[in-house]
């Protein structure tokens, strides 16, 4: 999870943005019970990477992900204005 969030932030920053430019996160998890059991850790990691910016978020529980060993995937949408 931490690496996924860091990757998202890296892409946003490479485009000239900051965490606050992230407008939506969609989380895909394969194990709801594990996700819920680790809520405190999830929150700690989230705040460490993205601070207190909380865009619109959705969580989907899925049967599997493309990478066999993956437990979580996060999709992000960010808006980085052109200044016009």
Kindly list the domain boundaries of the chain, sorted by start residue.
2-78
Element of type H or E holding 78: strand 72-78
Tokens of 40: 């405190």
Which residues, in sequence order, are bridge partners of residue 59? 27
Say what the pLDDT of residue 81 is: 81
Q: Which CATH class is domain 2-78?
A: alpha beta
Taking the chain (84 residues) in runs of 10, the rounded mean pLDDT of each run is 97 97 98 96 97 97 94 97 68
Question: Distance (Å, rounded) from C-alpha 25 to C-alpha 19?
Answer: 12
Q: How far is CA 75 from CA 6, 56, 65, 84, in A?
A: 12, 12, 13, 27
Say what the pLDDT of residue 79 is.
97
């Amino acid at each position: 999870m931490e690496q996924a969030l860091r990757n998202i932030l890296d892409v946003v920053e490479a485009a000239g943005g900051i965490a606050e430019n992230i407008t939506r996160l969609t989380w895909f998890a394969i194990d709801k019970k594990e996700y819920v059991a680790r809520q405190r850790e999830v929150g700690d990691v989230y705040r460490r990477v993205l601070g207190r910016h909380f865009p619109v978020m959705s969580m989907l529980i899925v049967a599997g992900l493309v990478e066999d060993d993956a437990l979580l995937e996060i999709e992000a949408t960010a808006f980085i204005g052109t200044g016009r």
